[in-house]
Amino acid sequence: MTDGAAGEVRRARGAAELLRQVGLLSDGPVRWGAPVRSARPGVFLVEMAAPLPRAPIDISRIGTWIDRVPTLRLDGERPTGKDLAARLSAFWLPDQVVLYVGSTPDSIGRRVAELESTPLGEPAVGEDGRWLGALRGLEQARVWWADTDAPEEYADAILGAFAEGVAPASVEALHDPTVVVPFANTSTPSGLQREHGITGDAMAAPPPAPAPRRVVTLPPGNAVSSEQSMAPRGRATGGASRTRVSGGTPSGGGAAGIGPTGRAVSRTAASRTAVPTSSAARPSAPARGRSPASTTAGSSASRSAPGARRVSAKAIANAAPPPGRQPEAVHVTADGLAQLQQELDELVNVRRPEIIARVRAARELGDLSENADYEAARKEQSFAEGRIAQLEAMIRNASIIEAPSGGSHVELGSTVVVESAEGEETFTIVGSSEARPSEGRISNTSPLGQALLGHRPGDDVVVRAPAGDRHFTIRELR
């Protein structure tokens, strides 16, 4: 499309082209309604096969939307279906094929499925993208996506590239020409909001239903071992009812119960060995962030959890991280952690936007197969994203080293004066992320660092190396 005033040629940019323009490798497409097979964070785009001169608004869906949501208002007034359809049509771009640019920090596949399955007016995860439900013929649309750990930044860059391809005449015809985004985008990751005048357009999410409780009545022959777990009312079972053993004493009311072998056992011992019979007495699933091993079936906290469900040993084993996969603590000093955070901030807020802009500029130069600038920018982008992921993991698993004062033995954070055949040297024991051997900061995992740990002034330390053993004598701790 050519703008007569400026003589500038504008053309519709498809989803795959927009993804390439910001340096992302596109995946797809799949038809709208088909599963998007990505559980990673990233961006996704919904596009039509060709531009349409008018918005394909489904007026029957608009009417259902208004009927379903009594709070819906257009410029503060209750709208008619015709008025609401006209307002949506005022955001249509007749020269574009991309209908929506979305991003998610979780699963792309799940976010797209939520958009596809949520009718107009129903509570949704987010406001953006709802207008897709007003269109007919959406089953012919396609979804493209790209995995990335920086979804918001890339979505913003894609929206910028999209706006550059919209003809000025189309922009001027918009109800709000100040924010140029695809039809179903009502805002941008950077915080820009479209002035569309539609408010109260979704019903409030219903309150979560209470967890179901189930009481199991056991046959008399199996009641003995079960009753021994029942505590008196007001104890940790949350008011579990007491059951009387035929011919015996209530398990929660007397000094003793009947054990599985028929012998009397104390109430305490019985409560340790019994099997709960009601949901109030069952162990709850391990809380998020806690090791399954730390949540035991016998703990009062587990038994009192409302709506708790019984968890099998197999389920607990499956929930536990596989051996050897637990994240290792990253030992850093407070200064070292501050340096890591400063580097991450620089990469995320300065370097990443600069690299995205470079990739985009290099992409516009032409043939990618002979574009050295593009290849260099992509390599820099790959390195930066890898370093960002590494820094985020290090900060997440950081364990602060507190410098010991006047300690009796070498530990993390200690400054050690040692003497060897080469003379006297001073080392500070730090985590591997802060190791600078040339500055006397050695890692606790290095051969010398490992050898020094735990020793005291006066101790002789031997470090075995391929070139031969080296002997050090600890003279002082600082």
What tens digit of pLDDT does each residue of 150-178 get?
898 899 899 989 998 999 999 999 999 99
- pLDDT for 420: 84
pTM of the model: 0.48
Contact predicate 131/183, CB 8 Å: yes
3-state secondary structure 278-289: EHHHCCCCCCCC
Share of the chain above pLDDT 70, in %: 68
- The pLDDT score that the predictor gives to residue 397 is 84
What value does the mean pLDDT take over residues 317-324?
42
Fold of the domain spanning 415-477: Chitinase A; domain 3 (3.10.50)
Kindly report which listed range (68-77, 139-148, 297-306, 460-469) carries the lowest average pLDDT score: 297-306
Cα 301 from Cα 392, distance rounded (Å): 34
Percentage of residues of the chain with pLDDT beyond 90: 29
Binning pLDDT at 50, 70 and 90, where does residue 376 land?
A: confident
Average pLDDT over residues 314-335: 56
Q: What is the pLDDT of residues 49-104, one digit of tens each?
A: 999 999 999 999 999 999 989 999 999 999 999 999 999 999 999 999 999 999 99
Does residue 448 carry a pLDDT above 80? yes
Contact 371, 365 (CB under 8 A): yes
Q: Which residue has the tokens 């003589």?
A: 7
CA separation for the pair 357, 362 (Å, rounded) = 9
When pLDDT is averaged across residues 456-469 and rounded to a whole number, the result is 80
Q: How far is CA 191 from CA 6, 99, 156, 446, in A?
A: 30, 19, 10, 47
At 110 the pLDDT is 92
Q: Does domain 330-400 have CATH number 1.20.200.10?
A: no
**What pLDDT shows up at residue 95?**
92
Condensed to tens digits (0 to 9), the pLDDT of residues 122-131 reads 876 666 898 9
Q: How confident is the model at residue 196 (pLDDT cuts 50, 70, 90)?
A: very high
CB under 8 Å to 466, separation ≥6 — which residues? Answer: none
pLDDT of residue 14: 92
Q: 391-425 pLDDT, tens per residue?
A: 888 888 888 877 666 668 888 888 888 888 888 88
Q: Is residue 219 over pLDDT 60?
A: no
Q: Where are the domains of the chain?
A: 2-199, 225-237+254-287+297-310, 330-400, 415-477
pLDDT at residue 89, rounded to an integer: 96
Confidence bin at 146 (pLDDT 50/70/90): very high
